[in-house]
Structure 1
Amino acid sequence: MKNFLKGVMILLFVLLIFWAGYTVGTNRMDQEDFGDSAVFYAEILEIDGRSMLVSGLKENDVNYRGEFSFQVTADTKIEWHHTDIALTELMPGQHISITFSGGVQESYPAQIQDVSRISLLDDVNPQRDKAEISSVKNYYMNAEELGKTEQSLPCLTLLDKENFVFSYDVLSSYIPMGTYEITDGELIATDKEKGSRYVFEVVDENTLKFIQEKSADVSLTEENAGAVITDGALFERKQV
């Protein structure tokens, strides 16, 4: 009887060792298969400060097809085409991949912890295109020999890719503004209210040359109150 009980105990001990080894091996295999982080794909639904609400795409595993929310921290890397971008460049409707290493709190929406990376997957980045389109370019007339301050010099301002403001007479209450186009090496600015045209030869990216015979009158209210624009006057771009 004692030998029988001794044999049972030995068998139970062997089974216990086998089960422990199997459990450790399984856990180790899970870690090797999945690593310390998970990645899934989603569409941005809302961005509120540093909080983001997303909806998992159908391409994901079934566990990542619902709605999720998470916090973007200072340690969260945000990128587009392997280039770092700001959180402000993300917007609802964009598709992203989300890498996280924390847990997922079962709530609605599910709460994701420790998001380490957000990658914008879309081919275009509208926020960057918008910033490029809305960049302002100021071209001041080169009149250093006249000793005039920059504020009193004629200035052609290109507000974006189609709108302009042309300030050349500090005493005039009217400032021409409208749309412009560049064709055949010339920049043609058309005032939207009076229909007046102001034409410049595009010398290079930073230099325009005024063409008087193709342009409307640009005489000053008082000649001594500013710099007179003459034919061939150069307008040079100044960084804003």
Structure 2
Amino acid sequence: MKMIGLIGGMSWESSAEYYRILNEGIRERVGPTASAQCVMWSFNFAEIEDLQHRGDWATLTTRMVDAARRLEAAGADVLLICTNTMHRMAATIEDAVAVPLLHIADPTAERIKAAGIKTVGLLGTAFTMEHAFYKGRLAEQHGLDVIVPNDEDRATVHRIIYEELVAGRILPASRDAYRAIIARLVEAGAEAVILGCTEIMLLVKPEDSAVPIFDTTALHAAAAIEVALAG
């Protein structure tokens, strides 16, 4: 079994889900006493959040590269960034280490294409919804048409992530807000919705959407299991 290296703590709420999904998946595939071989570098998310909102992506990139190198030195055979937003520096991390990086958008896009879906709505942090690093990969490498919420809805999605979900707060009113935003994406033509923040799956469930939802956390972890057990 290959060693999975996890760059986590962004936030630990979703990193804990990665750990659970990886171990449950390995147990199901290998046997009742089996668990995932993994090593995690877990950030203090308060520091990461501050740098994100100050726009200091250079410092964030330096820290992410350092984490990747530490995991490689610890024996990781494949790396996962346990957050969608920080895939903004995925290419730089790939250049800095010799082990492969499993990009979170790729297994998500592959599952969407396998379902015969072309147009998707994207929910995530403002950085993920508004910047090209994520939407561009979905469009250019996978041929998907991506719809994002309007300005007001993007602000709501972002606020709930940073003020509630990363702190483990799951509020019915926020679920209702997300349901309404998803409905508007469907009205705009979305055939499915990507939960493009690893915490959103804590709030939104399949029954909250009239179209299929694709949970990047679960799909990313499932793809890592396949890599870990291959060859």
Is the shorter-chain TM-score for this pair beyond 0.5, marking a shared fold?
no
Alignment TM-score, normalising by the size of structure 2: 0.23
TM normalised by structure 1 equals 0.22
Higher relative contact order (CA 8 A, sep 6+): 2
* Structure label with greater radius of gyration: 1
The structure with the largest strand share of the pair is 1
Q: Looking at secondary structure, tell me which structure has more helix per residue.
A: 2
